[in-house]
Amino acid sequence: MRYRSRFIIFADNLSYFGMILIIESGATKADWCAVAGDGIPVFIKTGGINLATMSEEVNETTVNQALAELEAEDLREKVDRIHFYAAGLVSSEGDEVPELARELDKVLKAHFPDAVIEYASDLLAAARAVCGHKPGIAAILGTGSNSCLYDGVRIVKNIRSGGFILGDEGGGARLGKLFMSDFLKGLVPEPVAGEFARDFKVDYMTVVANVYRGGAPAGYLGSFVPWIMERYPSSEYVKSLVDGNFRNFFERVLKQYDIQRHPVGVVGGFGYAHREILLKVAEPYGVQFSTIIPSPLEGLVRYHCGEEDLVEKGTKMIMEATGIEDFGQARSLLYSCGSVRSAIASLQARTSIA
């Protein structure tokens, strides 16, 4: 299945280089973008690679699925380098493979025996995406949150996230936790409380079971965020809760960095979707934002490819071939169809049917 990704594979634009694989994987999904020697990006999606729980056999199946889709796009170049990003990984030093990645390493080396493989955290992926090769502060604001000071090469300071129980200030799961705690204690005012009870029909034991015994408690709490945010414009209670969640991120996390000296780049769907609120809450702190993006995809392409933005290149090719004048529309078509070739074919098919 092709899809907009967080998991990138691409090749240098010079034909004598093999492909570079950039992988940014979550536990449930892994998104890939392939760029062959011609520099045209291809996006695919596979199941996630959960380093903590998945066996070598499961990882093998996932990698085989990706390879099959790459071959379907005629991408068969030799792989020279692999950059694998995932939560919880400690960046590898030299040839050392982090313990958490050893099962996956066996699979990757079986398929790509000559490739140099780097294992790194999702936090380093965020830093490289928003800072590139320059110093700055990187912040992840998704379901969870994290942050670091980056010197242009490595992470030099990290205020511990603490997860949704002890931290995750500014993230979606934290917002869901704050709301649910108020709801169970009868502190959510009407009509919000009544609407929530009507729409979700939650009870105390169900909530406790999902939070304390469920397999994905942060995801469960974060699942209520879209509903909560719909009421931001009309409910002073929700507005105060949301603003306070972002404000806690500045007070408890970002203020521990030199935010007057370094720009802040934000990665994450929650922060991106509600960036106007984030920017408003940030004003009293004097934070200078370098960028706010939903995922590290395009930034990682720029980081590992140099200055050329391969996603932009593919988008412009679609515009030239189809006559689409809106850059955003063409880029969305590239992401949804998976490749320049598929995007052009899809639009031609629609035109012929019409």
pLDDT digits (tens, 9 = 90+) for 147-202: 999 998 889 999 888 777 787 889 998 999 999 999 999 999 999 999 999 999 88
Report residue 40 as tokens.
């045209």
pLDDT digits (tens, 9 = 90+) for 252-309: 999 999 988 999 999 988 999 999 999 999 999 989 999 999 888 778 877 877 644 5
What phi and psi values does residue 148 have, to the nearest 5 degrees? -165, 160
167-252, which class in CATH?
Answer: mainly alpha
Its pTM stands at: 0.75
With a CB cutoff of 8 Å and minimum separation 6, the contacts of 26 are: 6, 48, 86, 87
> CA 304, 32, 106 angle in degrees (round to 5)?
85
Report residue 10 as tokens.
């691409």
Residue 267, strand partner residues: 140, 293
pLDDT at residue 179 in the model: 95
